[in-house]
A and B are shown apart, each in its own frame.
Chain A
Amino acid sequence: MIFRTRLDLPLDRDGAARFLPWMVALMVYLASLALAGTLVVRDAVARWDRGLTGTLTVELPAPAAGRRDDGAIDLALKVLRGTPGVTRADAFDAKRIAALLEPWLGADIDAADLPLPRLIDVQIEPRAGVDLAALGQQLAAAVPGARLDDHRRWLNRVLRTALAIEVVAGLIVVLVGFSAVLAVIFATRTGLAVHHGIVEVLHLTGARDGYIARQFEWHALRLGVKGGIAGLVLAVLTLAGIATAATQVGALDDAVRVLPALSAPAIEWVLLLLLPFAAGLVAMLTARITVLRALKRLP
């Protein structure tokens, strides 16, 4: 008798008890997808960032017409290899350049015959604090027209796009949360109106506002977590579906694969699992505040 759950208010039988979990499920579903999208983007950007940090490309202008080699590569390599912090500097050989051009020009091209800019792949120790601006100037002095590309510009643009995606996703989560709060307020007010008689009896029997609010808040917590788990399960199924489809089609390249991101035990993914409980907590607090405010009107 002591351990059975007993509610003075028959909230379980309300219409709200049926519709609220579905509302919460839908909202947690949307929020999960938005958050998962953010995490995938963030993960991809982090991998690009890691992959590109410490990687530089030096671009030398094409040799003057008719000359196969003007010694520019050797000059540039000398500058690079003489710079502390540079761990490796290799010119792209003809084979590698041909491989890069093959998709456009076909396999039977002698790259050496074309006036192509020449590329040097440079690896630096990221923590050595190589002064890239100075290095760029040194290179330009040694080989007029030489350009140092640290991929920052490109990466910054990607980062800005990623940030925009994150802001939109965050906005979706906030809006979804806001709608959830409104739904809980509506359901709680309906419950208060439907059970007005019982609430009044409890009030007149000397129940403190907190006692009455507790009944609503536990109920809201249960419905919120229930709906939240359903929404999260649906979201995980959806993500798994997308990942499987993407792997089969091979549509997404290495950097934006969803599955590795999903399987990575990153803290963020754990946070995603907490979403149903966050939903329950929000529902609980909202119900509590709604009831306490309504009860203030009783003498």
Chain B
Amino acid sequence: MRYGAGPEILRDITFRLEPGSFHFLTGSSGAGKSSLLKLMYLAERPSRGLIALFDRDIATAPRREMPALRRRIGVVFQDFRLIDHLSAFDNAALPLRVAGVPESQVKEHVTELLSWVGLGDHLNAKPPTLSGGQQQRVAIARAVIRRPSLLLADEPTGNVDEELALRLMRLFEELNKLGTTLVIATHNRVLVERFDHPHLHLADGELSTERPRKRSTA
């Protein structure tokens, strides 16, 4: 893919994510991690090549089918992209409301999830009044509230201490066990080493897949 008439940022990348798989996406900054994620969460269309999501070819899918596809994808943006004038509750509730889920269910699910990520006391807090770590958890809650089939996270543990990072990783693994396919872009070598998942490595716009050194046999 390329932006406008600029150079191709990603080229000759071929990979397939098995449903229910868990990958780290690594690479130095500027290697194209975010661009690859953007293609995957349908914020950009490829300038050439083929992307199929949930067995649907994105290049030929009509635009009106995109919202339904996007609703199966959860995204944790690197800069969170929370809506400042909405409360933590309303931010996390956004994907449900956008999909027209009844308000009674919204209340139940959102309250439960925000409590689970430790924000039960901050339901009505506006993002600017929350710490970086708290904002990140709201962003993660928003990404997972709809139990997405595919969860894409851009540096989701960048702003939290190690203990919370581990807790969040456990949340991701939990979701993965429930069938969600995960791709987590990260710089955090410790995290990558600690968890036993294959990782996609981006360098100079090209992708290589590295298997974990010790394969889990469970």
Contacts and interface: CB of A to CB of B under 8 A. Distances in A.
Interface stretch (B24-32, B38-46, B170-178): B38-46
A204 B75 contact: yes
Nearest to B68: A206
Interface in B34-71: 41-45, 63, 66-71
Given A1-B107, A208-B67, A6 B90 contact: yes
Interface stretch (A129-137, A175-183, A195-203): A195-203
Interface in B79-100: 81, 83, 85-86, 90, 94-95, 97-99
Contacts of B85: 10, 13
Contact of B103 (A1, A201, A204, A205): A1
Nearest to A299: B45
Given A1-B103, A205-B94, A198 B70 contact: no
A199 to B, nearest CB: 10
A211 interface: yes
Interface in A1-26: 1-2, 6, 8, 10, 13
Contacts of A205: 70-71, 94-95, 98, 142
A112 interface: no
A8 B103 contact: no
A207 B71 CA distance: 8
Contacts of B94: 8, 201-202, 205
A204 B43 contact: yes
B98 A206 contact: yes
| Residue in B45, B90, B98 with the greatest tally of chain A CB atoms within 10 Å | B98
A299 B44 contact: yes
Contact of B95 (A10, A200, A206): A206
Contacts of B90: 6, 8
A206 B67 contact: yes
A204 B44 contact: no
A206 B83 contact: no
Contact of B66 (A197, A211, A299): A299
Nearest to B66: A299
A211 B98 contact: yes
Interface residues of A, number: 20
Q: Is the interface of A mostly helix, strand, loop or mixed?
A: loop
B81 A206 contact: no
Interface in B119-145: 142
Contacts of B71: 205-206
Interface in A194-253: 197-198, 200-208, 211
A200 to B, nearest CB: 8
Nearest to B72: A206
Q: Which of B63, B68, B69 has the most CB of A within 10 A?
A: B63
A1 B73 CA distance: 28
B169 to A, nearest CB: 23
Interface in A137-169: none
Contacts of B68: 206
Contacts of B44: 299
Contacts of B41: 204
Interface string B134-163: 000000001000000000000000000000
A204 B70 contact: yes
Given A6-B90, A8-B83, A202 B107 contact: no
A296 B66 CA distance: 12
Nearest to B100: A211
B103 A206 contact: no
Contacts of A296: 63
Contacts of B75: 204
A296 B41 CA distance: 17
6 contacts: A204-B42, A205-B70, A206-B69, A296-B63, A299-B42, A299-B45
Interface of A: 1-2, 6, 8, 10, 13, 197-198, 200-208, 211, 296, 299
Interface of B: 41-45, 63, 66-71, 73, 75, 81, 83, 85-86, 90, 94-95, 97-99, 103, 107, 142
Across the A-B interface, the 5 shortest Cβ-Cβ residue pairs: A206-B71, A206-B70, A207-B98, A10-B85, A2-B103
Given A205-B70, A206-B71, A299-B63, 10 more contacts: A1-B103, A201-B81, A202-B94, A204-B41, A204-B43, A205-B142, A206-B98, A211-B98, A299-B42, A299-B44
